[in-house]
Structure 1
Amino acid sequence: MDYEKKYLQLLKEKYTTKAAVLTEIINLEAILHLPKGTEHFVSDLHGEYGAFQHILRTGSGAIKEKINELFGENLTPEKRNQLAMLVYYPEEVMKQETLDEEFFKDNLEKMILLTRYCGKKYSRSKVRKALPEKYAYILEELLTEIKKEASEQKNGYCQAIVEKIICLGQAEDLIIGLGKTISRLVVDQLHVVGDIYDRGPAPDKIMDALKMLPAVDIQWGNHDINWMGAVAGSPLSMINVVRICARYDNLEILEESYGINLRPLLEYATGQFTPTENFAPKNNPDHGELTVHEADTLNCLQQACAVLQFKLEDALIARRPEFQLDQRRVLAQLDFSQQTYTFADKKYQLTDFPWSHFDENQPNLLNAEEEKILQQLLKAFQHSPRLKQHTDFLMDKGGMYLCYNENLLLHGCIPLHENGDFKALHLKEKSYAGKELLDFYEEQVRTAYKIPTETQNFATDLLWYLWCGECSSLFGKLAMTTFERYYVDDTTCQIEEKNAYYRLRNEEKVATDILRCFGLASSGHIINGHTPVKEKRGEDPVKAHGKVLVIDGGFAKSYQEKTGIAGYTLVFNSFGLQLVSHLAFTSVAEVVKASQDVLSTRRLVEEVPHRLLIKETNIGKKLQADKEQLERLFDRWGELS
């Protein structure tokens, strides 16, 4: 059978005339020669919706650059700032302005010119899709005809359209729509390199915003995998999610945003535990100071979650010897008679450890009340429609890593030995390392998500391994010492030793070997999040002579004291790579009042020798393949029935 002929016959059903095929071939050829779209990389957003929205609205300063390029000679810096704020936050700015005909005429013209300028490297079809739907036809006319210098007739034509828009009371709505269009045009693809969840107050709002974007991908982070694990049926992942929310005064995300009933767990926690120093919650800057009652409740809730977590964890490690986590069976290292804990052959006295909550002979045994609470809570997580929508989106748009335009995007690390060899994990009678290991992890994550009622199967248990396992690419440390941080006052046993990757990624050869393992060119880059770059201590986010870029700069407020900044973003346009570091975002009101972007520096990481075109990208390769298929259809048109 001529399979190509059969395929071309199916393709012919879409393009019903030879002229239509020819038109599409020419269209694709033209698109391939357009400049590459701008990629925008963010990482470790940790629920900081306000800062994330500001980055999206400003394009990490790209919009301001376009305004300066277009209007630099004709507008003062103050006027350019005012225009930028109108693009970013049109509704907020217009509340402070006198909205008369002069304001609308002046700003509509500028925003239409700016839209035209930002869209000039795209096809008309792509720009049309970015326009607010109700004004698309009118705006296409204006974008085509309006110019800084035009004939009197054309100016009159454009002015008549603008005046009618104002007269009909649509100018305010149009300015809002144009602001969104401009923000969309300066960023062609958004890459989120992990950790949307935990610490900050509004990961749900970030997820809602991501769902509205036309082109986005997500590389799962260790905190994301916990939330996905909860919906996939892991009670251990679930109780860890609750514990972290309690630690960071962030129960609202569970109770109000996702409608998860914590009452049975809260009643158990406050009835069974009393506040202790090591479980004092972190103050959430968005909530103000905690009352004594609130702090005590969160303290007790953390303790209850910790007890349940360590019981579940001990049982999981016992049933999964292949995970090689026996050294983390902390409950097996307890001496009930002496009330001590053994770590690395040394005995420690535990501080405020709740001995009465553990059975000496079977410390991981859950009592009837604990079993009931866990079952009720897991059901609440799995029956939250909004949470399910968000984790479905993480599954649909996400993965363990992404190879895109010769760059390798992954949240944490590639586990390595000290000599730079790939570290292997032996599971299911096979050893996995490097790319194969991450592919195996992703396959198991997707398997677990498909069987949410099976709470102790291999794939679901592996979700927990990804949170804290020695060979997890999302964790990247020898061990997670949560137990020691809570109950042992000696800090020497609280240290979490990092995988060799975090030292070796400074070496260009190691980075090149990793890229080659993933089938990427040595000219590419590894883009990481996960480990906050302590810039104020002199740490450089650019490593291995530019081969590795670490873009976790501390969006989460809890990290900013260590990093000295409030996050990085990476911009990859047709001219090269730029790293942008951000100052702390306070509020939209403060930004609008100051009329200044919250950017600190833009740093050129790499300039390409020639302007990159779409034909040199992942999308370009697909379009080239589509074009070649259409060319075969065109050549064989006459022989197809």
Structure 2
Amino acid sequence: MENEKNYLEYLAELYPTIEKAATEIINLQSVINLPKGTEHFLSDIHGEYEAFSHVLRNGSGAVRKKIDDVFGHTLGISEKRALATLIYYPRERLEMEKKQQEDIDDWYKVMLYRLIDVCKIVSSKYTRAKVRKALPADYGYIIEELITEKPEVLDKEAYYEAIIQTILEIGSAENFIIAVAELIQRLVVDHLHIIGDIFDRGPEPYKIMDCLMNYHSLDIQWGNHDVLWMGAATGQPACVASTIRICLHYGNLDVLEDGYGINMLPLATFALETYGDDPCECFAAKGGEDSGNSQQMLERRMHKAITVMQLKLENRLIRENPEYGMENRRLLEKIDYQNGTVTIEEKTYALRDKSFPTIDPAHPDELTEKEAEVLDKLIFAFRNSEKLQAHVDFLLKKGSLYRVYNGNLLYHGCMPMNEDGTLKEVQVDGKKYKGKALYDILEHNVRRAFVSRDPKKREQGRNTLWYLWTAPNSPLYGRDKMTTFERYFLAEKETWTEVKNAYYRLIEKEETADRILQEFGLAGENVHIINGHVPVHQSAGESPVKCGGKVLIIDGGFCRAYHKETGIAGYTLIYNSYGLSLTAHEPFESTEKAIREEKDIVSRQVAVRYNMKRQLVGDTDQGRQIRQRIRELKELIEAYRTAQLKELL
């Protein structure tokens, strides 16, 4: 009772009179009767900024659907495509049209009317207050006048015509078109979900992070590539080495140097000194043409240098942390350095590269003095990159290992499972955890890496980030091993195989999905698991929809390396008031082509679930929170009326 009274007193500070509390109840009641906002789900972006930006701008087809809703058959297909492209890329499209249009003012006028019509429909599902917050500062008042119905105005056409004509006369048409187009992008999606793997493979993850930091409403579920960069930002040595190795593997050194200002000169100098006569043939960058020029040879040697350092650091981590269950990955101890062979699972293989000048066979995971010096400089550079630290801080604030949101369970990788379908127990800090508890303790440890004042716990947290990146029992990785060593040093491709956790086979069964959903407190018909991590091989007949729609695999397929393998770029998901729909995407070629040829990458949309009744805000998590606040405000009003509290008039 005392706590309840204290809470009502706190509410009374916010709503000091009956009238103010009653007004808020009316406002809240109006919100829960609005259509549910559109949620947009993206996964596995992997540094492909241009493709990501395009999908974000078009809302996975949501913008085009609004155009169809507004104009139906009154506009042709080409006119709708042109309008959509203008909304996606207003600045670039305007520059093009100024060169092509004979009467640019007439074109401006037509486009302004069309944009205002689209803006009216995308703003209609929000309260006027929410729309007002989204309006651009410069043109907010004018846009509000144009998209708000004004019953007191008798000649509406003349009223709107006068405003549009004034915009043209004062030379503000271009800026106004840009403002309205960006407002449509902003309003067409209410909330964005990123289901992991923003980093690695592609060339511009830092641009993606900059974009996300300016997005109006989002959450992020960390992927294994994300936690690797988070670990590197803390200075975790194996994460630093792995991050650099992957950038070199994909020919993306610019991500480190230009994107994050991380100086690679210490590694380059060391690589030249140590591997200057080594052709390092196994370390050519993936994709593109390696002609063996001086820059490529330098990067090969840097690639080998950091790979050997990574293997040493990982070998030591595994040796010092037996609960990781990775003893079979201490491969540096299984090499016969004299004969150039390695023994894995009682079978001996010849090494493709037999030169290890920095490895002491008696102590294979010890760094040389020069390696340790280089590593210290690299760690310092990662920990002092302002942009990287800002990005990782954002990942911590907006991110988590999983999230339950509006009846959907979101996570990147998998739920570690046994072959019989039971949840697998995994040892963490000397105790065993499974299911939700496993996710919770691992996330707790991740956050300790950044906030704990205890040096030992902070180090354990940093090591957890590496564990999540690569360990067989990591819910973000979900394979028996990461065959980094084998892919570099062994020609036998059967050694490259990474066996997936039982989850990926069992998730095809409805009882498995139900068991996982119940573990996170979800039950009923309209609940789903949404995860990415594994590309969907459409060309092989694989479907992203599992268990009758309960499980949705939405690997966005942004990574160009997988397009030939999967037969499609990938999938994204839209959840609006009408239901859930998957959007299949064709590979994105370039922003220039998308603008010039009005070429979109949405190939088709597939309804996963269609609501018989349009879903309202009141049917969502937000709606439940609003109803709770309404109940509390009613209690506050009752307290005022029964003199338990005094109104602050």
- TM bracket (short chain): over 0.9
Q: Are the aligned partners of 2:284 and 2:290 in contact in 1 as well (CA < 8 Å)? A: no
Distance 1:51 1:146 in 2: 40
Residues 311-332 of structure 1, C-alpha deviations (whole Å, 9 max, x = no match): 1111111111121211111112
1:614 matches 2:617: yes
Equivalent position amino acid for 2:257 in 1: E
Equivalent position amino acid for 2:18 in 1: K
In the TM superposition, residue 522 of structure 1 has moved relative to its aligned partner by 3.8
Aligned Cα root-mean-square deviation (Å) = 1.8
Q: Secondary structure at the match of 2:47?
A: coil
Aligned position for 1:83: 83
Mapping for residues 468-507 of structure 1, pairs under 5 Å? 468-507=470-509
Distance 2:387 2:115 in 1: 36
In the TM superposition, residue 44 of structure 1 has moved relative to its aligned partner by 0.3
Aligned position for 1:386: 387
Equivalent position amino acid for 2:566 in 1: T
Aligned position for 1:283: 287
User: Which one of 528, 532, 545 corresponds to residue 529 of structure 1?
Assistant: 532
In the TM superposition, residue 298 of structure 1 has moved relative to its aligned partner by 2.1
In the TM superposition, residue 133 of structure 1 has moved relative to its aligned partner by 1.9
Aligned position for 1:35: 35
Aligned position for 1:60: 60
Residues 334-365 of structure 1, C-alpha deviations (whole Å, 9 max, x = no match): 22344321101112221113333211111111
In the TM superposition, residue 454 of structure 1 has moved relative to its aligned partner by 5.1
In the TM superposition, residue 553 of structure 1 has moved relative to its aligned partner by 4.3
User: Which one of 205, 210, 213 corresponds to residue 212 of structure 2?
Assistant: 210
- Report the more deviating stretch, 35-44 or 625-634: 625-634
Distance 1:412 1:584 in 2: 23
Unmatched segments (≥5 aa) in structure 2: none
Distance 1:15 1:110 in 2: 42
Distance 1:176 1:341 in 2: 61
Equivalent position amino acid for 2:630 in 1: K
User: Which one of 159, 162, 171 corresponds to residue 160 of structure 1?
Assistant: 162
Q: Are the aligned partners of 2:341 and 2:348 in contact in 1 as well (CA < 8 Å)? A: yes
Aligned position for 1:14: 14
* TM-score under structure 1 length normalisation: 0.96
User: Which one of 569, 572, 588 corresponds to residue 575 of structure 2?
Assistant: 572
Q: Cα–Cα, structure 1 residues 452 and 94, in superposed 2: closer, same or farther, change >3 Å?
A: farther
Q: Are the aligned partners of 2:579 and 2:609 in contact in 1 as well (CA < 8 Å)? A: yes
Q: Cα–Cα, structure 1 residues 195 and 272, in superposed 2: closer, same or farther, change >3 Å?
A: same
User: Which one of 255, 258, 263 corresponds to residue 257 of structure 2?
Assistant: 255
Residues 186-230 of structure 1, C-alpha deviations (whole Å, 9 max, x = no match): 111100000000010111111111111111110000000110001
In the TM superposition, residue 159 of structure 1 has moved relative to its aligned partner by 1.6
In the TM superposition, residue 453 of structure 1 has moved relative to its aligned partner by 10
Mapping for residues 59-458 of structure 1, pairs under 5 Å? 59-97=59-97, 98=101, 100-145=104-149, 153-273=155-275, 274-283=278-287, 292-450=293-451, 457-458=459-460
Q: Cα–Cα, structure 1 residues 531 and 291, in superposed 2: closer, same or farther, change >3 Å?
A: same
Q: Secondary structure at the match of 2:216?
A: coil
In the TM superposition, residue 450 of structure 1 has moved relative to its aligned partner by 2.3
Equivalent position amino acid for 2:136 in 1: P
Residues 422-477 of structure 1, C-alpha deviations (whole Å, 9 max, x = no match): 11112233111111001111001100122599598222112111111111001100
Q: Are the aligned partners of 2:425 and 2:434 in contact in 1 as well (CA < 8 Å)? A: yes
Distance 1:271 1:496 in 2: 35
Q: Are the aligned partners of 1:553 and 1:565 in contact in 2 as well (CA < 8 Å)? A: no
In the TM superposition, residue 76 of structure 1 has moved relative to its aligned partner by 1.9
Equivalent position amino acid for 1:581 in 2: A
Q: Cα–Cα, structure 1 residues 243 and 489, in superposed 2: closer, same or farther, change >3 Å?
A: same
Distance 1:222 1:212 in 2: 23
Aligned position for 2:555: 552
Distance 1:331 1:587 in 2: 43
- Report the more deviating stretch, 600-609 or 465-474: 600-609
Residues 142-191 of structure 1, C-alpha deviations (whole Å, 9 max, x = no match): 111489xx976222222222222222222211111111111111111100
1:460 matches 2:465: no
Equivalent position amino acid for 2:644 in 1: E
Distance 2:590 2:55 in 1: 13
Q: Cα–Cα, structure 1 residues 518 and 154, in superposed 2: closer, same or farther, change >3 Å?
A: same
Distance 1:289 1:333 in 2: 31
Q: Are the aligned partners of 1:534 and 1:553 in contact in 2 as well (CA < 8 Å)? A: no
Q: Are the aligned partners of 1:190 and 1:215 in contact in 2 as well (CA < 8 Å)? A: yes
Q: Are the aligned partners of 1:247 and 1:298 in contact in 2 as well (CA < 8 Å)? A: no
Q: Are the aligned partners of 2:424 and 2:434 in contact in 1 as well (CA < 8 Å)? A: yes
Q: Secondary structure at the match of 1:572?
A: strand
Residues 487-514 of structure 1, C-alpha deviations (whole Å, 9 max, x = no match): 1112222211110001001001100100
- Report the more deviating stretch, 102-111 or 175-184: 102-111
Q: Are the aligned partners of 1:146 and 1:155 in contact in 2 as well (CA < 8 Å)? A: no
- Report the more deviating stretch, 333-342 or 19-28: 333-342
Equivalent position amino acid for 1:132 in 2: P
- Report the more deviating stretch, 486-495 or 438-447: 486-495
Q: Secondary structure at the match of 1:283?
A: coil
In the TM superposition, residue 18 of structure 1 has moved relative to its aligned partner by 1.6
Distance 2:535 2:558 in 1: 9
Q: Are the aligned partners of 1:340 and 1:348 in contact in 2 as well (CA < 8 Å)? A: yes
In the TM superposition, residue 254 of structure 1 has moved relative to its aligned partner by 0.5
Equivalent position amino acid for 2:579 in 1: G
Distance 2:62 2:139 in 1: 25
Q: Secondary structure at the match of 1:356?
A: coil
Q: Cα–Cα, structure 1 residues 453 and 487, in superposed 2: closer, same or farther, change >3 Å?
A: farther
Distance 1:507 1:472 in 2: 22
User: Which one of 628, 640, 644 corresponds to residue 639 of structure 1?
Assistant: 644
User: Which one of 596, 600, 605 corresponds to residue 603 of structure 2?
Assistant: 600
Unmatched segments (≥5 aa) in structure 1: none
Residues 101-143 of structure 1, C-alpha deviations (whole Å, 9 max, x = no match): 3222211111111101111111111222222122111211111
Equivalent position amino acid for 1:491 in 2: K
Q: Are the aligned partners of 2:153 and 2:159 in contact in 1 as well (CA < 8 Å)? A: no
Identical columns (%): 43
Q: Are the aligned partners of 1:145 and 1:154 in contact in 2 as well (CA < 8 Å)? A: no
Distance 2:442 2:540 in 1: 35
